[in-house]
Amino acid sequence: MAAGTPGPVVPDRYLEALGDADPVAAMAEAPDLLRRLARGLTERQLAKKPAPGKWSIREIVAHLADSEVVLGSRYRFIAAMDRPPLPGYDQDAFVANLGVARAATADLLDDFAMARAVNLGLLERLGEGAWDRVGIHAERGEESLGRLVTMYAGHDRIHLAQVETIRTGLFPKAGRAPARKGGAKKRPAKKGSAKAKRR
């Protein structure tokens, strides 16, 4: 795909991934679920691609954070304006050109959680009528705010499953530290630390 060209969008796949789950509840839990899936992996592991041309876990996290920023602007345009245009974007160009390789995954997870919290706050304060308001997506045509929320809750589910697949496929033993013989050894308190001062 040429840089700057929006990629294919598959909203039906997103809707199927969500199933009958409440979309707002699914969106609220996604950042914590993503953190759990990344827990115990090193930056090197998080940056490992499962195959050539496929995103690493870190890149997926960055994509979710970027998507949430774009989605937040779409929510606001739809809620505040009359049938606003909603441009598409090239998700691969975002991952390639927005410094993902130089970012710590923990920071990207924080970015995603923060942007999601801001957007959920907006959704809570909008009146019910806002959910039926529409924007005109460049690729998909007319979309309501409610459909966007539902679709992107499914989008989260697809990427959470993708991260879980990468984690279990590439790093099946990650996060399972072997038990130390004789129990865990206590580390001596550092000079000047709170423990050292209490002694």
| Domains located in the chain, CATH noted | 11-198 (1.20.120.450)
Number of other residues whose CB lies within 10 A of the CB of residue 182: 6
Is residue 141's pLDDT more than 50? Answer: yes
Task: Return the pLDDT at 82.
Answer: 97
Angle at 155 between CA 73 and CA 162, to 5 degrees: 135
Task: Return the pLDDT at 9.
Answer: 56
Is residue 197's pLDDT more than 70? Answer: no
Three-state DSSP class for 85?
strand
Is residue 116's pLDDT more than 60? Answer: yes
pTM: 0.82
As a whole number, the mean pLDDT across the chain is 86
